[in-house]
Structure 1
Amino acid sequence: MHFDLPDLRLFIHIAESPSLTQGARKAFLSPAAASARIKALESQLGSRLLYRDSRGVELTPAGQRLLQHARLIMRQVDYLKSEFTEYGTDAAGHIRIFANTTAVTEFLPEVLAGFLAERPGVTVDLQERLSRDIVRGVLDGAADLGIIAGPVQAPGLQVLHFSTDRLVLAVPLGHALAQRQSVSFNDTLAYQHIGLHEGSTLLSFLREQVEKLGGNLALRIQVSSFEAICRMIEGGVGIGIIPESAARRHSRTMQLAILQLDEAWAVRERSMLVRELDALPGSVRALIDRLKQGV
């Protein structure tokens, strides 16, 4: 059985696109040529890979399996190219990162700014994902590196701890809770919260904790960043649960009271997820080393 790398890359483009036409465009092929290549691939494998209708394409179970293997193969090809680039082992390459909300909005921009400034030949694709999607993405080879907070269930992956943060409650000065040193999560549910946008890892995590308590998280407004949450809190709109690192930073310029949460889950271990550290290209290993130096 023989596979052409361009056909595997085409299949990935189509699988990650809403339609065959858009996938073909990413591969710089006409829809007819792309369709012919996919049919030839299906014939070679003896399995149907795509369901096609007026709404676009959907992967069959066989297509899902091929996508997993195709991603891994193409990532290894990319790794091979980066290892032999003229720039050196860690000065060039492309890194795809799946990370949680805190990583994407808080510490990674600063870390990546310095890292990329030193390595003009490196490019990065940073995507915010839910925890389960981060794990799955690294397992499937869709991402080189995953960054996650809290307990990790990731069989088959290497888990590299690199820092610790804590979730805290931020309230406006003068709030009924402002004079307390700590508070339980259940006690906060009596007040209106400021939350992150739908799909953020922190909001999803807090909703899981609410569900365990059988309570209700009253969201007055949802915003896109921790800074926006703090501005809403300072304005008296509501209260919010955010990472302590963000709360301390914004409290230097905003009128906020910060309370500890009396919950074991408030302490959040940050970890990096990889399939096999020694098999990663130099640029990814260099970024991992940078994160291990401290955030």
Structure 2
Amino acid sequence: MTVPSFDPVTARLVLALARDGSIARTAQTERIAPSAVSRRIAELEGRLGVVLFDRSAQGVRLTTAGNAYAETARIILQQIEDLDVLMSGFSAGRAGRLRLACTSSALSGLLPERLALFAQTYPGVTLDIREMYGTAALSALSDAEVDLAVLTDNHDFSPYEVLPVSSDDVWVIAAPDHPLAPRLAGGRPIPFADVVGHEMVGFHHSGALDRLLSDAAARAGQSMGERVNVETMSSLVRMVEAGFGIGFLRGTGLHLLGGTDVLGAPLAEDWARRSMVVAMRKMPFRSHAVTNFLGLLRDTPAPGADAKVSKRRI
């Protein structure tokens, strides 16, 4: 029996499809046609003589054989990427690429300014930035699809090395005529128990912040009184400003309150004190692009949320 040759492109599609659970979603993230995803997977299954995915109306899921293929493919792709990095180390040039998976919170904070500074300092480095949820960002990191993942610290980082970037505490915000407004006006930390009973504007179901708040409410024996749900932080601020309820923002998103009358204060609990971090695979060597970017992050620390908002309207 002839063993099929390893195809890195198709292997990455298998890992992306396993992560996304949907051909349509993978086609969107990988920027190819859904039919091309289906065709490549079917061709690979034909060459291997096994079924890699169970298909259903709810999406796709790896079979036992698919799990075995994915685990081995992940190791091979990591080795390929490590070889590329090792070879790039023999070049002293300033060219290269930097691939990042970032959450929306990261891209709404000070990361864009740091990336702009990096691009200005190293114009020969190509930036490839992907916006995705935290769990997907770590999966892309494990699959060697990206060099770094930028996300909040409420994940399991034991397989990775982590560099703290900035404070990213959870804040509650409300319109100036909201019953909570007098409490928020001082900017002092407020207990979660004092805000959980109010109607809120929801953001990103299944996102890290949504899970964090839902878990906290469950521990308190309550549920979040969600009135409407939006997909972007800027929309959340506008709906809060219009009086649809309170909202929750990470510290990296507080700049969105500029020019509004919206009031805000950080939550008082320890679980609400978060940090934005950069995660990377544990490697004996790194590319010049990654090393230089990490050095830039270390040299330009971001102020914490408490440095952005004082005892005043935001």
TM-score calculated relative to the size of structure 1 = 0.77
- 1:148-167 CA distance string (max 9 Å, x none): 32344322221222222321
With over 3 angstroms needed to count, the CA separation of the structure-2 counterparts of 1:171 and 1:60, relative to structure 1, is same
With over 3 angstroms needed to count, the CA separation of the structure-2 counterparts of 1:206 and 1:84, relative to structure 1, is same
Alignment RMSD (CA, Å): 3.6
Match of 1:196 in 2: 203
Pick from 266, 269, 275: which aligns with 2:275? 269
Match of 2:310 in 1: none
Asked whether 1:236 is paired with 2:240, we answer no
- Aligned ranges for residues 110-125 of structure 1 at < 5 Å? 110-117=113-120, 118-125=122-129
- 1:130-180 CA distance string (max 9 Å, x none): 3x4444443443442222323443222212222223212111113222222
Q: Secondary structure at the match of 2:205?
A: coil
Gaps in structure 2 of 5+ consecutive residues:
18-22, 303-314
Match of 1:288 in 2: 294
User: Percent identity among equivalent residues?
Assistant: 20
Gaps in structure 1 of 5+ consecutive residues:
none
1:184 CA drift (Å): 1.4
Q: Secondary structure at the match of 1:124?
A: strand
More off after superposition, 206-215 vs 159-168: 159-168
1:124 CA drift (Å): 0.9
Match of 1:255 in 2: 261
1:30 CA drift (Å): 11
Supply the distance in 1 between the matched residues of 2:3 and 2:98 (Cα, whole angstroms): 27
Conserved 8 A contact 1:170-1:233: yes
Conserved 8 A contact 2:108-2:253: no
Conserved 8 A contact 1:170-1:256: yes
Conserved 8 A contact 2:201-2:240: yes
Match of 1:167 in 2: 170
Pick from 50, 53, 72: which aligns with 2:52? 50
Conserved 8 A contact 1:171-1:239: yes
Pick from 63, 67, 70: which aligns with 2:70? 67
Match of 1:103 in 2: 106
Supply the distance in 2 between the matched residues of 1:187 and 1:52 (Cα, whole angstroms): 46
Q: Secondary structure at the match of 1:179?
A: helix
Q: Secondary structure at the match of 1:16?
A: helix
